[in-house]
Structure 1
Amino acid sequence: MHTRWTFGDPVRLTRNVRDDGTYPGANAGDLLVRCGSIGNVVDIGTFLFDQIIYSVHFLDGDRVVGCREEELIDIDEPWVESAFDTRQFVRARCTLALGGETSIAAGTRGEIMHVARESAPASYHVHFESLPGRIFRVPESALVAEESSATNETTASTTESSNAA
C-alpha cells in the first residue's frame, strides 16, 4: 500500500465526519468535523490491513480524527463550497421538470446522496421520496433545507443521474 500524504501535509476533508460512538466526549452521530475543513496529517496507520487511515489534526475544532484516503484531497485541489451535505434532507424549492414534464412537485422531501463539486455552484444527486429508486441531479438553487420549507411556483430543470453515489 502506498500513501498519498505524509506527516505534516495539509489536506482538506471532502465529507462530514460524524462520531461512530468511539470519539471521547461526543455522542454517536455528532458532527466532529465539517467537510471543507483543513487539517494536517499527524499519523498514518491501517485498518483491517487493507485501508490506509490518516490521522488528521483539524485546527478549527482542535480535533484529531481518522480519515480514509477517499475522504481527503490536497489543499491545492479546487474546492467548491456547498449549501448542503450528503445525507441531509432537503425539499424542492420549486417544481422540477425532467424532459419538459413535471417530475417533482415543489416542497417534495428528498435526501442528498452525493454532492457534485465539479463546478460552482455545486449540484446534488437527490433521492426524492415521491419517486423511489430514482436519483436526480439538481442545482443548488432548486433546493432548500428541510427545516426551511419555503417554496415558489417557478420551474427548474433537472437531469436524472445513473449514479446512486
Structure 2
Amino acid sequence: MDAKFDYGEKVRVIKNIRNDGTFMGSNRGALLIRRGNEGYIKGVGKFLQDQVIYQVHFMEQGCTVGCRETELSDLSSPWIDRKFERGDSVVVRQTLSSSGEVVVSVGQRGTILGLESNQKPFYYRVSFKEVDSEDVNSWVIPETVLLLAQSDPLLTGQVLTRSTQC
C-alpha cells in the first residue's frame, strides 16, 4: 500500500474532519478542520496495517491533524465550494411556508442531513425536529436561506490553537 501524497505536499480536505476521540483537548465529534481548508503533509503512517494516515499541518488553524487518504485531495482536483456539510447545525434566515402554512420560523435551528443538488444553486435536506430519533420535519432548502449556527468556535471565526500531534 503506497501513499498517494508525499511529505511537504499541499493538500485540500474534502470532508469535514471531526474528533474521533484521538485529538486531545477537544470533545469527541467536535469539528477540527472544515472541508476546503488546505494544509501540508507533515508525515505519513499506517493504521491497522491497511490504512494510510497523513499528518496534515493546517497553518491557519495552528494544528496538525491525522487524515485518511479519502479525506484529502491534491490542489489540481476540481473543487466545488459549498457552505454546509452533513451534520452541520444551521439557522434559517427567513420564514418558510408550504401551502400557505408556516413550517419553519426565522431563527429556527436545524441539522443538515445531506446535499440534494450537486451543482449551484445548492439545496440541502435539513431536519428541524426529531421524535424518538425519527425525522418528522425535514425540508429541502436553498443554501442562501441558511446560516451556520453559532455553536462551533471554528465556524464563528475564533481560532483554536492546538499543538497536539496525531
**TM-score category (smaller protein):** 0.5 to 0.7
Q: CA deviation at 1:102?
A: 7.3
Q: CA deviation at 1:105?
A: 1.1
Aligned to 1:111: 111
The CA RMSD measured in Å over matched residues stands at 3.3
Structure 1 residue identity aligned to 2:67: C
Deviations 1:50-80 (A, max 9, x none): 2221111112123211111221122122333
Change (3 A) 1:21 1:103: farther
Q: Structure 2: which 5+ runs fail to align?
A: 151-166
Aligned to 1:33: 33
Decide whether the 8 Å contact of 1:42 with 1:55 is kept in 2. yes
1: CA distance between counterparts of 2:82 and 2:23? Answer: 26
Decide whether the 8 Å contact of 1:80 with 1:122 is kept in 2. no
2: CA distance between counterparts of 1:57 and 1:145? Answer: 25
Q: CA deviation at 1:116?
A: 6.7
Number of residues of Structure 1 aligned to a counterpart in Structure 2: 143
Decide whether the 8 Å contact of 1:125 with 1:135 is kept in 2. yes
2: CA distance between counterparts of 1:12 and 1:118? Answer: 19
Change (3 A) 1:32 1:145: closer
Q: CA deviation at 1:104?
A: 7.6
The alignment's TM-score, normalised by the length of structure 1, stands at 0.65
Aligned to 2:146: 143
Q: CA deviation at 1:27?
A: 2.5
Structure 2 residue identity aligned to 1:66: G
2: CA distance between counterparts of 1:117 and 1:78? Answer: 17
For 1:3-152, list aligned pairs within 5 A.
3-24=3-24, 26-29=25-28, 30-92=30-92, 93-95=94-96, 105-107=103-105, 109-115=109-115, 118-129=118-129, 132=135, 136-146=139-149
Name which of structure 1's ranges 63-72 and 129-138 shifts more when overlaid on structure 2: 129-138
Change (3 A) 1:70 1:114: farther
The alignment's TM-score, normalised by the length of structure 2, stands at 0.64
Q: CA deviation at 1:143?
A: 2.4
Query: Secondary structure of the equivalent of 1:4?
Result: coil
Q: Which has the higher contact order (CA 8 A, sep 6+)?
A: 2
Decide whether the 8 Å contact of 1:81 with 1:122 is kept in 2. no
Q: Percent identity?
A: 32
Change (3 A) 1:89 1:31: closer
